[in-house]
Amino acid sequence: MPKITIENMTILCEPDEKYIQVDDIKEADTQKVWQQITAQYPGFTVDFVFHNTVAPINFLNEIGAKVIDDCIEARLVKKDLIQMPARSTTRIDDSNFDAFAALHDEKNIELEMYWTSERLRQNLANWDIFGIFDGDKLTGYSFLRSGWEIYCAEADSLEDKLALISACVYRAFEKNPDVEVLYMIDRNAHLELGAAMHLGFRRVGYYISYRTTT
């Protein structure tokens, strides 16, 4: 994602999508940065993201920002991987992408997720997507971004989540045996967290994101 600099802070900015992401801003910088963003980028969606840091709640409330992600940060290196039998998964590609797109958009229509199926289709080279099919019906999916970050594992059962997370993990280590796999898991996704722990992931921190508009 392209970057801009405001008040000596490097900020992610996607002008075509009218989107800005501000990471780990300090309370002392909030007013100046926000004033420049609102002046220079009207009509943008702005996410304020915090990794293991205290968010400036008063400022965020003042600008009408709402929590959109509240996640546990989990990581895994190859030596800690606990291998276990898992049901087979299918790679999502151009031949079956429409089935994935329909389920992904249905699951996330109310969440205003940035990575819609259309954005994923346009950036498919950066993603490894896996699915579980029941006959011709897709029932679950997971995806790995840039070879090291698991973005989600959408499934109803622990067995299916284990299979989908495993597919991402094996693909990451296939690409780079020395990579540390990152998995941001929703704080309330207890089944997903349990599946990750079964495979050897360790909890290392947290991540919370607030969204507002200019």
How crowded is residue 147: how many other Cβ atoms within 10 Å of its Cβ? 17
- Which residues neighbour 128 within 8 Å (Cβ) at sequence distance 6 or greater? 91, 143, 144, 147, 168, 171
- CATH class of this structure's domain 75-205: alpha beta
Q: Tell me, what's the pLDDT at 185?
A: 96
Q: Tell me, what's the pLDDT at 208?
A: 93
Per-residue pLDDT tens over the stretch 42-72? 999 999 999 988 889 899 999 999 998 899 9
Per-residue pLDDT tens over the stretch 98-114? 999 999 988 886 666 77
Query: Cα dist. 107→9, 104, 141 in Å?
Result: 35, 5, 11
Please determine, for residue 195, whether its predicted confidence score (pLDDT) is greater than 80: yes
Q: Tell me, what's the pLDDT at 110?
A: 62
Tell me, what amino acid is at 169?
V
35 — pLDDT class (breaks 50, 70, 90):
very high
CA nearest to 27, candidates 4, 61, 1, 71:
61
Q: Taking the domains of the chain in order of start, what are their residue ranges? A: 3-64, 75-205
Buried b (16+ CB within 10 A) or exposed e, 9-33: bebebeeeeebbbbbebeeebbeeb
Q: Tell me, what's the pLDDT at 189?
A: 92
